[in-house]
Amino acid sequence: MKITQTQIDGLLIIEPPVFGDPRGYFMETYQQTRYADCGVPGPFVQDNLAFSTRGILRGLHFQIKHPQSKLVQVIKGEVFDVAVDIRPDSPTFGRWDGALLSEKNKRQLFVPPGCAHGYCVVSDEAYLTYKCGAYYHPEDEGGILWNDPDLGIDWPVTEPALSDKDRNHPQLKDLPPNKLFAPEKTS
């Protein structure tokens, strides 16, 4: 497996081995021991599948007290996938990084807890699958405006299709620290 560390601690681009021949290909999309050895801690508790069409942008989403790690992969189409570090004590707080994920390159993006996540579809349609390290808690959702000028994300679209919720998220600078990354303490 090829692992590329991004500028954000824990945010990894993963290129799993793909074994192909004239019949098609085979790849492991997750194997707990191998991925843990490469910096992708488990466990994962939920798998999600999302479908969207060209120009749709989803994000930037996160959970405050129940932060989710995510292992993201596109199984059809292509997306520009982005993570923003929202860990107040992180040296890369407020920085973003991203990668093109597609059915052709078969890359995965591991998004660590404490990062907001979003993506934009750049193909006619895309199916995106991702594992989550924590359950979804709708009451715990947070979000950052997709085009926050302080973040300067280089999205491949200027006028994406957005949900009302995503269109109305605040800028990062307008979120108090307790609305960013405040995981519940466990004893």
pLDDT at position 148 is 98
Summarised one tens digit per residue, pLDDT across range 96-141 is 999 999 999 999 999 999 999 999 999 999 999 999 999 999 999 9
**Catalytic residue of the set 30, 61, 66, 136:** 61
Q: Is 61 a catalytic residue?
A: yes
Q: Tokens 């009451």 — which residue? A: 139
pLDDT at position 187 is 45
Cα distances (angstroms) measured from residue 12 to each of 7, 38, 138, 173: 9, 9, 26, 25
Cα distances (angstroms) measured from residue 79 to each of 57, 62, 87, 105: 9, 19, 25, 11
Question: Which residues does 52 contact at the CB level (< 8 Å), separation at least 6?
Answer: 58, 79, 121, 125, 126, 128
pLDDT per residue as tens, the chain (187 positions): 999 999 999 999 999 999 999 999 999 999 999 999 999 998 999 999 999 999 999 999 999 999 999 999 999 999 999 999 999 999 999 999 999 999 999 999 999 999 999 999 999 999 999 999 999 999 999 999 999 999 999 999 999 999 999 999 999 999 988 888 877 765 4
Q: Is 66 a catalytic residue?
A: no
111/71 Cα distance (integer angstroms): 6
CATH ID of 2-19+28-179, from 3.90.1560.10, 3.10.20.30, 2.60.120.10, 3.30.70.3270:
2.60.120.10
Q: Which of left, alpha, beta for 78 (phi over 0: left; psi -120 to 50: alpha)?
A: beta
Q: Tokens 């998220």 — which residue? A: 169
**Catalytic residue of the set 30, 130, 135, 137:** 130
**CB distance 94 to 85 below 8 Å:** yes
In three-state secondary structure terms, 179 is: helix
133/113 Cα distance (integer angstroms): 8
pLDDT at position 1 is 92
Cβ atoms < 10 Å from Cβ of 109: 27
